[in-house]
Chains A and B, each alone.
Chain A
Amino acid sequence: MGPEHAHAIGLATDMAVMSLLALSAYLLLLAGRISFGQQAYFGLGAYASALATTWAQWPLAAALAGAGLVGAAAAFALALPTSRLSGLHHAVATLAFAEMLRIALQGWHWRWTGADGAPAGPNGIDGFRDIRWLLENDVSDAAFLGLAAGVLGAVLLALALLWRCRAALALRAVGQDDTLAAAQGTPVRRVRLAAATVAGAVAALGGALYAHRTTYIEPALFDPMLGVHAVGYALIGGLGTVFGPLLGVAFDLGLLDATRVFAGWRMVVFGGLVALFLRWRPRGLLDEATLDRLASFLGRRRAPPIAPSLETVR
């Protein structure tokens, strides 16, 4: 296996992992809320799964499931007080929560003696080393890519299946106009809670995969920039479909990073693009209107889109 091959596998795995985080931000955007704190669940998933495979000696699959549960529980707990906050306050509150978690992790030391006699476990600001489940079980990079893609695929499948059902329609209705949705009898708060919980689980899955791929995690990795990127991916890729966030990730990691064309200027380009998109295509590349046109071009009729609410001159 040549180095380009290995590099491509690595890149694909990174994209799969980041896609999970981007999807998590996307779910909240669908519900009409912006969250700058999804990196918290990413981090929680990373730490929880690492503990599961190192300290509790669980197999990876169980660790992933556990991480998802932890992410879901934490997201639910946070969403309880924050779901009623409006856009700006919600964004800042989620950021505050994520930062509190990150700082708490910086102070968390829980060491034990590993099988080889060396100390192991989360070591505060120095992070959590030796998350070696993949190495110890001889999982190749390609196999892990398969796993990551599988997890991503499962999440996408679940979301795609739900897309047409009442739950998803309720979600999008709430995101478009929650007053209207409430007037139509949608349990707005419950919908938001559900969206946040699922988003937390998805982000945590991403974090768990990340931890095992890199074998080393530290609190500094789960900083606001990570969460901000996640939102950026969802916004650029488009909110009309679950593949939108993936497009955003592919664009940034695949195009900008991998091609090295914009070496060192990646954020300048990416940031500029997000801003420009928001100016002229606020719902991203794959927005509802584009998908509609695509669908009718392909001769298929989509479920009628929920019309964006008309903003009046204030």
Chain B
Amino acid sequence: MLEIEDLATAYGKIDALKGVSLSARGGEVTCLLGPNGAGKTTLMMTLAGILRPQRGSIRFEGEEIVGRTPAEIVARGLALVPENRLVFPALSVRENLLAGAFRRRDRAAIRDDVERMLDRFPRLRERIGQLAGTLSGGEQQMLAVARALMSRPRMLLMDEPSVGLAPLVVAEIFAIVRQLHAEGTSIFLVEQNAHMALKVAQHFYLIEQGRIGFSGTPGQLAEDDVIQRAYLGRRRAA
């Protein structure tokens, strides 16, 4: 569903991605693991159209999306839940959800979708009129996911959904990921928390210093090996 080939993106003077190639299949949860600074967020931002790559191609459902604006990419069915949530703090929960559906024009269906999101995330329903900036970290993460889902994406991109959250909340978030997968949503997920990510992924990659270092299924690599490389970027001495 998503094919990335030889993608290279610079951020300022830094070459964050140095030629990344990977693919994410439809209906699966694909995970990219790596330590800080490896280029995970740069990759996500490039996928979403916020950053332009220096070279390489990104094909989503067969269509090339490099060079397209974020609005066009959302219209094609690729939505990003950004790192650090990035909810609209001065807008209410409801307005955040409506913003997620910005590119859509079917008002009745949007209203229905809002209701559906509130059913899926009852905590958000409780706080529907509150300003998003006053929500807790976990609630903001749920809101960010819900906001992305409002655009009815065919693939959901998630950038480090567990960062900064308490373990209990992290478990909740990954339960949501599992649930979405069970409903058929394709998910491409970037994470530092290898333990939780490997539990939900069907396929994973390791990114190290801007390049892919490993590709396979959970179980192909010993978990502590993965964790070492994902957290510390360090291979275990052979």
Instruction: List residues of chain B with CB within 8 A of the CB of A310.
Output: 12
Closest chain-B Cβ to A95's Cβ sits at a distance in Å of 28
B91 vs chain A, min Cβ distance (A):
17
* CB neighbors of A among B20-51 (8 A): 45, 50
Size bracket, chain A contacts: under 10
B9 to chain A, nearest CB (A): 12
Chain B nearest CB from A284 CB (Å) reads: 21
CA distance A313 to B12 in the complex (A): 10
A313 to B14, CA, bound (A): 14
Interface size class of B (residues with CB under 8 A): under 10
A314 to chain B, nearest CB (A): 10
Contact mask A298-314 → B, CB, 8 Å, 1/0?
00000000000010010
Interface residues of A in 106-136 (CB under 8 A from B): none
> Which residues of chain A are within 8 angstroms of B12 by Cβ–Cβ distance?
310
B50 contact set on A, CB distance < 8 A: 313
What B residues does A313 contact at CB under 8 A? 45, 50
Q: Nearest CB to that of B11 among chain A residues?
A: A313
Interface pairs A-B: 3 shortest CB-CB: A310-B12, A313-B50, A313-B45
Q: Taking CB as reference atom, which chain A residue is nearest B13?
A: A310
- What's the Cα separation between A310 and B50 when bound, in Å? 18
Per-position 1/0 for B166-205, Cβ under 8 A of A = 0000000000000000000000000000000000000000
- On chain A, the residues within 8 Å of B45 by CB distance are 313
Which B residues, 45 to 94, have Cβ-Cβ distances below 8 Å to chain A? 45, 50
**3 pairs across A/B with beta carbons < 8 Å?**
A310-B12, A313-B45, A313-B50
B150 smallest CB distance to A (angstroms):
23
A313 to B52, CA, bound (A): 14
For the complex, give the distance between the alpha carbons of A25 and B50 in Å: 38
Q: Chain A, 278-314, contact with B by CB distance < 8 Å: what is the 0/1 string?
A: 0000000000000000000000000000000010010
- Nearest residue, chain B, Cβ from A314: B86
In the complex formed, the residue of A with least CB distance to B12 is A310
B217 to chain A, nearest CB (A): 34
CA distance A310 to B14 in the complex (A): 11
CA distance A313 to B50 in the complex (A): 10
Considering the chains assembled together, what is the distance between the CA atoms of A202 and B158 in angstroms? 56
Min Cβ gap B218→A in Å is 32
- A22 CB to nearest chain B CB (Å): 32
In the bound complex, how far is the Cα of B10 from the Cα of A313, in angstroms? 13
A120 to chain B, nearest CB (A): 59
Q: Cα distance A124–B33 when bound, in Å?
A: 73
The distance in angstroms between the C-alpha atoms of A310 and B13, with both chains bound, is: 10
**A40-75 with Cβ < 8 A to chain B:** none
**Cα distance, A310 to B12, chains bound together (Å):** 9
